[in-house]
């Protein structure tokens, strides 16, 4: 970790001494960062991308809803990035166990963490962890065939379910609960999830927002889609769809077009009656869960809500404030969709409160003094928190790459003992003989697509690491 002198450093990033970068995490941000680095004029860079799974693409594979196939075509751009010279993928190699930070410092000038946000936030209410109450992030990972979550069980024999939160993840979960087996069968949903959801007895789903419709975090196309499901009606109580005076005042001033559109969509839902579809999705607003109530077996049977009113908070935003009015909803299944949270990486400074790697504009910094840690960077959700759409990570990655380039110029980089590409290959082969290359992944991809084709589906995913390795002849 010794910073070289500026004169000596000028050579790094050239044909004679390429800049060696390790990217941890093969999600969208990892690929956008690689792309920004490769496009940097005059820079010769060698990139190794690590992922703990044998499959790349992070939440595009494990998070984006299976009925949103079009969004997943973004991976074509990632394939193009991966096909460039000086790019390698080491899948099935976990940072912190298979390769450690100490070890990577011996091989790279710069290490960039793009590990996303892998867990969920707490709500901090009694009964939160009763049986039948699940983190939405786990349900999402389950139906998307993530190997770590494929064996989870969800009691879909329940007739009434609640989804807490009104972000796009909550919308995804509601849609997946309300879709027909035929609708789901045209997606790349995991085969076991397709079977379980085809036998689901869920008839009523509530999506619960603590603020009003104008403050709902979901985006307009996602809201509109809720009204277009084949066999599920959508409904909002007219009094909950209408605007409170503070929001009305705000909108009159701001004329925010996207919120005005959102209100129109939701008001239209409130005018709809039941059309005879088998399922009903009810959007609730201005209500916060205060407790999940369980039965003697420790299973959730009720969600207790307090009605909220909005008030202007110190920062000028409209926040919920509880009233004295309570309401109980009988539900046997709850999905807590109140946001993702980042997980700390071994040896990397972590901001516990925010659930992000401690950083300034992407430069990893120490927790105590906020001093930059030489050679370490971060981008994406693990840098800024779980916000924005896939494309938001492009400018975010650029900000970090700009810091990396500035530091390279100033000689603030690591001094690896083994800066040769062959040395890394040897090290990884020794430590993780079953690592997966990008060529391996492309073969796996082809097999999944071929398996899906036989069933008339976009792909049939492998959902166990062993099965992936076996298909690649690595077991």
Residues that bind ligand NAP (CB under 6 A): 123, 164-170, 172, 209-211, 215, 217, 222, 288, 337-340, 386-389
Of 18 and 127, the one with the shorter C-beta distance to ligand NAP is 127
The minimum distance between CB 29 and ligand NAP, in angstroms, equals 13
Partners of 377 in the β-ladder: 112, 363
The minimum distance between CB 350 and ligand NAP, in angstroms, equals 20
**Cβ burial 263-273 (10 Å sphere, 16+ → b, else e):** bebbeebbeee
Of 24 and 171, the one with the shorter C-beta distance to ligand NAP is 171
Nearest of 178, 352, 371 to residue 279 by alpha carbon: 178
Of 108 and 381, the one with the shorter C-beta distance to ligand NAP is 381
The minimum distance between CB 156 and ligand NAP, in angstroms, equals 21
The minimum distance between CB 451 and ligand NAP, in angstroms, equals 26
The minimum distance between CB 116 and ligand NAP, in angstroms, equals 10
Of 21 and 117, the one with the shorter C-beta distance to ligand NAP is 117
- Distance between CA atoms of residues 92 and 40, nearest Å: 29
- Quick count: other Cβ atoms within 10 Å of Cβ 299? 16
Nearest of 20, 13, 17, 22 to residue 48 by alpha carbon: 22
The minimum distance between CB 351 and ligand NAP, in angstroms, equals 17
The minimum distance between CB 384 and ligand NAP, in angstroms, equals 11
Of 104 and 164, the one with the shorter C-beta distance to ligand NAP is 164
Strand runs labelled E in 331-392: 333-336, 340-341, 350-351, 356-357, 359-360, 363-365, 372-378
Q: Which helix (H) or strand (E) holds 133?
A: strand 133-135
Of 320 and 419, the one with the shorter C-beta distance to ligand NAP is 320
Which distant-in-sequence residues (6+ apart) come within 8 Å of 177 by Cβ?
161, 163, 197, 200, 202, 205, 279
Of 45 and 176, the one with the shorter C-beta distance to ligand NAP is 176
The minimum distance between CB 2 and ligand NAP, in angstroms, equals 40
Residue nearest to ligand NAP (CB): 167
Task: Classify 16 as helix, strand or coil.
Answer: coil
Task: Classify 341 as helix, strand or coil.
Answer: strand
Structure tokens at 296: 């003697």
End-to-end CA distance of the chain: give it in Å, rounded: 37
Of 18 and 28, the one with the shorter C-beta distance to ligand NAP is 28
The minimum distance between CB 329 and ligand NAP, in angstroms, equals 14
Strand runs labelled E in 421-463: none
How would you classify the pairing of strands 318-330 and 45-51?
unpaired
- Distance between CA atoms of residues 118 and 341, nearest Å: 6
Which distant-in-sequence residues (6+ apart) come within 8 Å of 390 by Cβ?
28, 60, 64, 71, 74
The torsion angles phi and psi of 103, rounded to 5 degrees, stand at -65, -45
The minimum distance between CB 138 and ligand NAP, in angstroms, equals 12
Per the CB < 8 A criterion, the answer to whether 334 and 292 are in contact is yes
Of 19 and 174, the one with the shorter C-beta distance to ligand NAP is 174
Of 238 and 388, the one with the shorter C-beta distance to ligand NAP is 388
């Amino acid at each position: 970790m010794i910073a070289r002198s500026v004169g000596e450093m000028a050579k790094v990033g050239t044909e004679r001494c390429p800049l060696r970068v390790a990217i941890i995490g093969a999600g969208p941000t990892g690929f956008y960062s690689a792309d920004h680095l490769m496009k940097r004029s005059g820079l010769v860079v060698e990139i190794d991308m690590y992922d703990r799974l044998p499959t790349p693409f992070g939440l595009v594979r494990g998070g984006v809803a299976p009925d949103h196939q079009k969004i997943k075509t973004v991976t074509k751009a990632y394939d193009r990035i991966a096909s460039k010279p000086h790019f390698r993928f080491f899948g099935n190699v976990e940072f912190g166990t298979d390769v450690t930070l100490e070890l990577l410092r011996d091989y790279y000038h710069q290490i960039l963490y793009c590990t996303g946000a892998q867990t969920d936030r707490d709500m901090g209410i009694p009964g939160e962890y009763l049986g039948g109450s699940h983190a939405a992030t786990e349900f999402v990972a389950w139906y998307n065939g993530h190997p770590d979550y494929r064996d989870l069980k969800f009691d879909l024999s329940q007739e009434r379910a609640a989804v807490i939160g009104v972000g796009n993840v909550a919308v995804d979960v509601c849609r997946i609960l309300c879709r027909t087996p035929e609708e789901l069968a045209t997606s790349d949903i995991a085969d076991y999830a397709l079977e379980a959801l085809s036998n689901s007895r869920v008839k009523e789903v509530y999506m619960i927002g603590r603020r009003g419709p104008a403050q709902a975090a979901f985006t307009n196309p996602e809201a509109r889609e809720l009204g277009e499901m084949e066999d599920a009606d959508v409904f909002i109580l007219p009094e909950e769809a209408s605007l409170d005076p503070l929001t009305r005042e705000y909108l009159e001033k701001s004329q925010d077009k996207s919120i005005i559109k959102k209100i129109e969509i939701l008001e239209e839902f409130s005018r709809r009656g039941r059309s005879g579809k088998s399922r009903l999705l009810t959007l609730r607003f201005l209500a916060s869960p205060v407790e999940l109530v369980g039965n003697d077996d420790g299973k959730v049977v009720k969600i207790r809500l307090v009605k909220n009113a909005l008030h202007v908070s110190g920062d000028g935003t409209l926040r919920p404030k509880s009233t004295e009015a309570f309401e109980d909803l009988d539900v046997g299944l709850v999905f807590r969709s109140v946001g993702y949270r980042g997980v700390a990486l071994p040896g990397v400074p972590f901001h516990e409160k925010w659930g992000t790697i401690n950083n300034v504009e992407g430069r990893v910094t120490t927790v105590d003094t906020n001093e930059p840690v030489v050679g370490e960077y971060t981008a994406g959700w693990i840098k800024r928190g779980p916000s924005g759409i896939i494309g938001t990570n492009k400018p975010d990655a650029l900000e970090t790459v700009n810091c990396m380039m500035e530091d390279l110029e100033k000689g603030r980089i690591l001094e690896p003992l083994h800066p040769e590409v062959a040395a890394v290959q040897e090290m990884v082969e020794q430590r993780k003989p079953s690592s997966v290359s990008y060529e391996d992944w492309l073969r796996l991809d082809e097999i999944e697509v071929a398996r899906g084709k036989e069933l008339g589906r976009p792909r049939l995913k492998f959902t166990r690491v062993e099965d992936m390795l076996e298909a690649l002849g690595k077991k």
